[in-house]
Amino acid sequence: MVSDGAWGTLLQQKGMQPGECPEEWNITHAKDVFDIAKSYIESGADMIETNSFGGTIFKVSKYGLGDKVFELNKAAAEISRLAAGDKFVLGSVGPTGKILMMGDVTEDELYEAFKTQVMGLEAGGVDAIMIETMTDLDEARLAIKAAKENTKCEVFCTMTFEKTVNGEFRSMMGIAPTDMVNTLIDAGAELIGANCGNGIADMIGIVEEIRKANPDIPVLVHANAGMPIYQDGETVFPETPNEMAELVPKIINAGANIIGGCCGTTPDHICKVREMVDSK
């Protein structure tokens, strides 16, 4: 199946300024957020996410919206639900930015933060909770637990890996793809995978590692449009829709079940991925 692509860059194209809360746009710019959701459905995606990646209290309270967590997430879900029609909606849940190991936060505080967010997403009509860009296994586990215990949704979880100088994949917190597999599944994840940090070329290796550890669990990949380059003071993701689509057969062979995009990908990327998936 095919998932959607990046949201943040499209929000910026619609005029979101640095320093604005992306989730607040679910209330103040609902039509713009709807247009992004719709653009991915029109590109052929089988599922779209919600504009709620930074929707925990830890992130939105920086914008003075700490008492609006439930409402912002519910609105995010309602917008994508409306755009999706009979396609699936995945409620996006990103990291809190708080690090358990450093004592920034307790496990209970993380659990409560995720609980409020996922309950808002469920109230807005999502089919699944998509916990993503996780680098810490404990935070991922608590997010999964909060979603399993407080919603009836399916729960998906992807982590972000980067290639080390030795060519191994590790999350920022030192977790390897094989390390995450059993922990996430034991916590209750119905689907696992990887997002961000890599273009589709390196995602192939990550999927192979996951498959070595577990041949059966559904695997989702949200790949960046290549590795970022700095151009005129801006971060640019250089991979074209055709370049990304060319590697789709390889990642399917590696064992991926759902393919979509992360940073730098656009509706055009998803359109080409759709064509390639259909021609397989």
Which residue ranges make up the site for Zn ion (CB under 5 A)?
196, 262-263
CB of 193 to Zn ion, least distance (A): 13
Give the residue with the Cβ less far from Zn ion, 65 or 196.
196
Q: What's the farthest any 2 CA atoms get from each other in the chain?
A: 50
| Assigned token pair, 102 | 């450093």
Give the residue with the Cβ less far from Zn ion, 127 or 132.
132
CB of 231 to Zn ion, least distance (A): 18
Residue of 169, 91, 186 whose CA lies nearest to 135: 169
CB of 13 to Zn ion, least distance (A): 16
Give the residue with the Cβ less far from Zn ion, 153 or 263.
263
Give the residue with the Cβ less far from Zn ion, 33 or 262.
262
Burial class, 71, CB count within 10 angstroms (exposed 0-12 / middle 13-18 / buried 19+): middle
CB of 158 to Zn ion, least distance (A): 10
Interatomic CA distance for residues 260 and 5, integer angstroms: 6
DSSP conformation letters of 128-175: EEEEEEE--HHHHHHHHHHHHHH-SSEEEEEE--EE-TTS-EE-TTS-
CB of 48 to Zn ion, least distance (A): 16
| Assigned token pair, 75 | 């609105």
Neighbours of 88 (CB within 10 A): 19
Give the residue with the Cβ less far from Zn ion, 182 or 235.
235
